[in-house]
Every structure is written in structure tokens, then in C-alpha cells.
Amino acid sequence: MYAVIQLPAFALQAVLRHEPELWIRSVALLDPTRNTPVVIEATRPARDSGVSNGLTVTQATARSRDLILRRRSPAQEVVVTTALVQCLSGFSPHLEATSPGLFTLDLRNLAELRDASAETLSNWAGRLERAVHGLQLYSRIGLGGTPNIARLAACWGRLEAPSSGAIQVITEPRSFVDSLPVIALNPSSDLIVILEKWGICSVGELLALGQEALADRLGLEALALIAASSTIATRPLKPVAPAEEFIETREFEEPIESVEPLLFVLRRFLDQLHRRLEPAGLVAEQLYLRMALETGTPFEQLLRVPAPTRDPDILFRMLHTFLEGIRTDAPITAVRLEVRPTLPRQRQFTLFETAVRDPNRFAETLACLVALVGADRVGTPILEENHYPDAFQLVPPDFENAPAPPLQRSDDWLAAVPLRRLRPAQSVQVETKTESAGAPAPAPLSLRNRLGGGQLQQVYGPWKMSGRWWEPAAWEREEWDVLARDHQGLRLSRHPEGWFIEAVID
């Protein structure tokens, strides 16, 4: 048993996949690669108004004044094909992408369909049709004993519009093929004219003439038609493996300049990507967003998901938070969203180890803070590998790879002095002793600043430091710990630029 899935108006479905509301309107698809663009596919309302394939833009708009024109998008057709292969591979591992919009499944080795009745096959095909419809696609499904019978059932089943699915299970292939019109065998246009003159309309009437008589009068093409009407001939499939890429893309007819329509499209992207990730048992680890601008320069951004997930609500909040803080140089003409997947992570914590309750919400909060105060002011402080006092940098928190805290020794007798750092350091006026020959650096006597002033009661120091003397960014300084008149402990530092209050000693 074989199953064939056909997508009627495949190119049009690929373009309208994220605009399903346009199926009830008059829409025509144009092929922009031709010198004179012509209509290649149209919706049912457009055809009812007289729009047909081969019409030019002027001819089509004359027949339907409210006609909506769309351009064919090969990129979106590739995305739809990839999504369908991923979807159909969950029903049978033996899958062939026969032609654009046509897929063949080999069901002979499926245990659930072995010796299945017509009703069981129809129920199985119903699940398949619902899975394809979940991708915002409409399909015809045919089941038969050979790939050819299944294809004829899918292409010539009881379906007239892509908005209503159809399933046809062929249990009597000979009578089914005989009832088909001759055009179902894809004869040449010249042969169609000849058969019409003979009064031959169905395949059964054609086969009744006999193979020898047809070959004598019509030549080798008659043998090809007889072979196409066979109910027992089979062929090996060319299997295709599902690609491990999850991409959604769309080209805009009119460039967009605000974030609201972009978010609307991205939300539909995420819903579709969720449907594609779930059967594969994968979650999103990274989001790669690429927007084509009217100037031709693309805008690209890679977003890391703190806790990999496929929940579209969480991923949409990440994109929303990011897009609120950016401005593009030109309107957006196309958008592409790629999910880089991974397997769900499971982590075993120790007895006293805890995790962030909602890492994605925590990352979203950090993103909001970054947008408010800047990326250089939010993060986890990490000491830099130099000897400059209190030199650190802020890095994004990483709870997955955070190092274990160092063990505290009970015999540690040397502890750091508790300081409250002033950032930036406060400039201060300092009066020092008169320096004499051979004496150390002059000690401070008094200072004048809003944090403290007057004569100093106690002075300790100096502690001289320097570093990076081999580079242009060399530095040197000396530090003093002093006790002001109001019993306020301060740490002073002297640079080539002057005196500063670095910290308050508790």
C-alpha cells in the first residue's frame, strides 16, 4: 500500500501559508521570472471572476477589480517542502519527494496498516491530513496498491478547492482507473485532439481499443499511456531524509516600517516552528533572526534561549523584548527566522543546589534592564586578570556553567577589609606634609570633600601599585587609609591626575 500527498496550487499555498485569510479573497500568483509576468495560479474567488492561468496583469485586473497580486517565492516553496518532509517522516520513514507539492509514502512495512481495512486506512489518512493542515497547508491524499494508483487517487480525487481536504482509498483499482478521464494520463495536446475526434473520453474507452490497434495508429505514445494506466506496475522510491533545519521565511509585498506587523508575522512563524519541533522531540536552543532591509544591507541577530524550549509564548516574548530596543536604517522587505534545535536538557541538582525558577523570564528581565541602562551595566561581575584594584567586567550570567563557590577555610585569619566602593571615585582636595629629601611620599594631613573634611586623625600608607608598564595603557597609583575627624574611614588614592576617594571603610 502506498500513500500520495498532493498540495493543489503548491506555489500559491507556499505564498499564502502565513496569510490563510486570503483564501476567501480574489488572489492571483504571478511568475516574476518571465519577461511578461502572467498568472500561474489563483484562488477560487479569483477563478470565479474570470481569472485564469496565462493572463497578464492587465488582463487579470480587468476581470477582477479587487484582485490581489502576489509574486511566486522559491524560498518559501523550499521552506514548505522541508516542513512537509519533516511532518510526513513521522508517519513513514520511506518517503519520496516526487515533485514540487507531491510526496509518496511507502506503507508496506508499517505494522499498524498491515492487513488494514479501508476504514482503518481512511482513519490513518485523516490523521495525516490533520497534521498537514496544522502547517497551514491543504492537501489531497490518495491510497492505493501502487505509487501510480495512489498518485491518480490524490490528483483526481473528490477535491475542487484547496480549502477542503479529500481522502480517497482505492480498493478496486481497475474500475477506478477506467473511470478516469484520458487527460489524467498526461497525453500530449496533439493526442488529446485526436482522441476527442474519436470520441474517447475515459481511460476505459481508450483501453478497450486494444494495445496493438493503439500502437499501430498512435505510435509509441500510446504504449506510454497504457503503461501509465497500469494497476500492477510498481517502482522503487527515491527516499529522502528530513533535514534538521527549522526555518520560516516571508517576503513582504510592501516594506514595513513598524514593529507591530513584524511581531504579527513572527508569532505565526513560532506557532509553525512549534508544530515542527514537537514531533521531532526537539527544543529551541538559539533563535537566528535575519531581516532584509530596503537598502540591501541585512540585519542579523542570534538570540540564545537560556532554558531551551519550544513554547511559542516564551520565544515570542524574547523576540518582542529584543525588537523593542532596536532601530533599523531602512524599512524591512523580508524576514527569516531560524530555530537551532537541541535535545531537551535534564539536570540533576545536589541536595542544597537550586535553580532559577524561570530562567527564560529571568533573561527577559535582564534584556529589559539592558535596554534601559545599557549592556555594559548589567551582568555578573567577574574580576579581570590584572592587579588593578577592583578591576572587573560584567558578563551575562550563565547558570548552567557557573563554577562552584570556593570552600571557606576555618583557619583563615586574614580577611579583606569591608569597603563600599564609590563608582566613580570622588575627587578630593588633600593637604599633604612638605616633602623632605630622602623622605617617603608626603602623607595627607587634611582633606576637603562632601563625604568628609578637616584634619585627619590617623593615616596609614602608602601602598604603591603599578601595572602594564610595557603598554601605552600603563598605570600607577598609591593608596592611603585614613580616619577623618568625624571617625569616618576612607580610602584615598593618588594618581597623576590628583587625589580621589575610592571607598568608604566600614
According to the model, what pLDDT value does residue 103 have?
92
Specify the pTM.
0.69
Q: Has residue 439 got a pLDDT over 80?
A: no
What confidence tier does 266 reach under pLDDT thresholds 50, 70, 90? very high
What's the rounded mean pLDDT across residues 4-23?
89
- CATH no., domain 2-171: 3.30.70.270
The fraction of the chain above a pLDDT of 70, given in percent, is 90
Which helix (H) or strand (E) covers residue 315, if one does? helix 312-324
Structure confidence by residue, pLDDT tens digits, 370-428: 777 777 788 888 887 777 777 788 887 766 665 555 555 544 444 567 888 888 888 88
Summarize the confidence of residues 425-439 as an average pLDDT.
74
* CA distances for 295 relative to 75, 250, 291, 328, angstroms: 20, 18, 11, 10
CA 399 – CA 357 distance, rounded (Å): 12
Question: For the segment 321-359, what is each residue's pLDDT rounded down to a tens digit?
Answer: 888 878 888 888 989 999 998 887 766 666 555 566 667
Confidence of residue 215 (pLDDT cuts 50, 70, 90): confident
Distance in angstroms (rounded) separating the CA atoms of residues 340 and 452 = 57
Residue among 481, 482, 478 nearest 453 (CA) = 482
Q: How confident is the model at residue 403, as a pLDDT?
A: 55
254 in helix, strand or coil?
Answer: strand
Whether domain 247-342 has CATH 3.30.1490.100: yes
Domain segments of the chain as ranges? 2-171, 177-228, 247-342, 419-505
Most confident by average pLDDT, 303-312, 370-379, 428-437: 303-312
In the predicted model, what is the mean pLDDT of the chain? 82
Residue 231 is placed in which grid cell? Answer: 494497476
pLDDT category of residue 164 using cuts at 50, 70 and 90: very low
Return d(Cα 293, Cα 31) in angstroms, integer: 23
Show the cell assigned to 125: 489518512
How is residue 377 annotated by DSSP?
Answer: G
What 45-52 contacts at long range (C-beta under 8 Å, 24+ apart), as own/partner pairs, is 51/26
